[in-house]
Amino acid sequence: MLRSVILAASRSSQVERLVATAPFTRDVVRRFVAGATTDDALRATRELVADGQAVTLDYLGEDTTTPDQANATRDEYRTLLRRLAAAGLTPAAEVSVKLSALGQMFDEQLAYDNARAICAAADAAGTTVTLDMEDHTTTDSTLDILAKLRKDHPGTGAVLQAYLRRTESDCRELASAGSRVRLCKGAYKEPESVAYQSAREVDKSYVRCMNVLMSGDGYPMLATHDPRLIAIGEDRARWFDRDPGRFEFQMLYGIRPEEQQRLVGEGYTVRTYVPYGDQWYGYLMRRLAERPANLAFFGRAVLSKK
Ligand SMILES: Cc1cc2nc3c(=O)[nH]c(=O)nc-3n(C[C@H](O)[C@H](O)[C@H](O)COP(=O)(O)OP(=O)(O)OC[C@H]3O[C@@H](n4cnc5c(N)ncnc54)[C@H](O)[C@@H]3O)c2cc1C
């Protein structure tokens, strides 16, 4: 019910105007999205890198329905990567890409070609690309495209979602030398047939997947704000002798910035996921709709910086 209301609101230009002009929204947007332009993305990156953090940048534009939109998204990533390199912000900054924004929904080959062009631009800029993971109907296609991209661009990173029942097995597949894997809980509304439904089951799966990745040969990227999972991550790093150059923590822009700084202070590599672009409205509303529990997540983050 709540999900339907939020989704309806995400498609209404009237609600968008209302939300966009409300003072509370401006605070939320400023807190969670770096801004609308490439300049904004560079400014936020510069600030985070100056604070000792690494960055992954996401250009917002998921509702891609035409080849022109897909190609425009590819071109923005290429411009961004050129400018990051020119500003000396690579390799500290890399990019996160949603294949749906590159045309995956209507032309898988186009999405692959666009992703390849972005990987080539990332190589030239001396940095990497991570493929975000979307809902479970895209998992096989995304992992297939990842495997093809990694032939020429072995540093291309994957994202695996602990709420999916298949993920522990996917972790085993991907825990090999040179493989970069971001482990997150998962943000979409998924059916019981493919995904654990309770928070406890998802957390237990996260720990099992973390054990596989941290004991394996790849480069684990532990994406979570959950204090218990972060503590377990720190424990596994000690147990498996992973020094800070051999795994990293990741968090979203604006969420728990003081915890991000604490981890940097402890000597860990911490990468912040920075979304930017003028499609922030859809981004925030879809995040809420995909998982209404995120209402509490964003609410908590507004009230607390811890
Ligand atoms: C870098 C990054 C990349 C991501 N990429 C993807 C992706 O490609 N695909 C995808 O599906 N999902 C992605 N996600 C989203 C992810 O799947 C989750 O939906 C999101 O991170 C919330 O899960 P959580 O692990 O932080 O735990 P939650 O269960 O949301 O929160 C756990 C606990 O964290 C604590 N907490 C959270 N915020 C605060 C706060 N502000 N103050 C105090 N305590 C707090 C609370 O104790 C809370 O109970 C990504 C997340 C990150 C961080």
Domain identity same for 72 and 203: yes
The pLDDT of residue 290 is above 60:
no
Task: Please identify which residue in the block is written with the tokens 């190609």.
Answer: 71
CA–CA separation, 251 and 18 (whole Å): 29
If pLDDT is split at 50, 70 and 90, which confidence band does 24 have? low
Q: Which atom of ligand 1 is nearest to the CA of 301?
A: 41
Are residues 231 and 291 both part of a single domain? no
The dihedral through the CA atoms of 194, 197, 202, 205 has a sign that is negative
CA of 244 to the centre of ligand 1 (A): 21
Does residue 304 line the site of ligand 1, with CB under 6 A? yes
Q: What percent of the chain has pLDDT over 90?
A: 76
Indicate if ligand 1 lies below 6 Å from the C-beta of 66. no
Closest CA to 111 of 75, 74, 76: 74
- Structure tokens that stand for 96 in this block: 């996160």
Q: pLDDT tens digits, residue range 25-61?
A: 667 777 889 998 999 999 999 999 999 999 999 999 7
* Helix or strand (DSSP H, E) at 195: none
% pLDDT > 70, the chain: 87
Provide the CATH number for the domain around residue 231. Answer: 3.20.20.220
135 and 254 in a common domain: yes
Q: How far apart are CA 199 and CA 159, in angstroms?
A: 19
The verdict on 115 and 228 lying in the same domain is yes
Residue spans of beta strands (DSSP E) within the chain:
54-59, 93-97, 129-131, 158-161, 180-184, 219-223, 248-252, 270-276
Known binding-site positions for substrate: 98, 286-287
- Cα–Cα distance for residue pair 291/133, rounded to 1 Å: 15
Residue 298 confidence class, pLDDT cut points 50, 70, 90: low
Residues 145, 286, single domain; the answer is no
Whether the per-residue pLDDT at 107 is higher than 60: the answer is yes
pLDDT tens, position by position, 178-222: 999 999 999 888 999 999 999 999 999 999 999 999 999 999 999
Expressed as residue numbers, the domain containing 122 is 34-272
pLDDT above 90 for 20: no
Same domain, 135 and 48: yes
Q: How many helices (H) and strands (E) does the chain have?
A: 13, 8
Confirm or reject: Cβ of 305 under 6 Å from ligand 1: no
Do β-strands 93-97 and 270-276 pair in parallel, antiparallel, or remain unpaired? unpaired
pTM: 0.92
* Closest ligand 1 atom to 273 CA: 1
What is the overall mean pLDDT for the chain? Answer: 91
Is 114 in the same domain as 246?
Answer: yes
Q: Are residues 186 and 40 part of one domain?
A: yes
pLDDT recorded at residue 278: 86
Tell whether the model's pLDDT for residue 96 goes beyond 80: yes
Q: What is the count of structural domains for the chain?
A: 2
pLDDT at res. 23: 64
Q: How many residues are there in the chain?
A: 306
d(CA 119, CA 134): 19
List active site positions: 132, 182
Per the annotation, binding residues are 98, 133, 161, 185-187, 224-225, 286-287
Q: How far apart are CA 174 and CA 179, in angstroms?
A: 6
pLDDT at 293: 65
Task: Please say if the pLDDT value at position 77 is more than 60.
Answer: yes
CA of residue 257 to ligand 1 center, whole Å: 13
Query: Same structural domain for residues 40 and 65?
Result: yes
Which of the listed residues 226, 284, 287, 306 should we mutate to test ligand 1's pocket, taking the one with most ligand atoms within 8 A of CB?
Answer: 226
Same domain, 184 and 238: yes
Using CB atoms within 10 A of its CB, is residue 43 exposed (0-12), middle (13-18) or buried (19+)?
middle
Q: Give the lowest-confidence range in 123-127, 233-237, 273-277, 300-304.
A: 300-304
171 and 304 housed in the same domain: no
Look at residue 257 and tell me whether its pLDDT is greater than 60: yes
Cα–ligand 1 centroid distance for 67 (angstroms): 32
284 class by beta-carbon count within 10 Å (0-12 exposed, 13-18 middle, 19+ buried): buried
Model pLDDT, residue 10: 67
Of 162, 160, 161, 158, residue with least CA distance to 180:
158
Co-location of 54 and 28 in the same domain: no
Ligand 1 in contact with 288 (CB < 6 A)? no
Q: Please tell me if the CB atom of residue 227 comes closer than 6 angstroms to any atom of ligand 1.
A: yes
From residue 131, give the alpha-carbon distance in Å to each of 1, 99, 116, 146: 31, 7, 11, 8
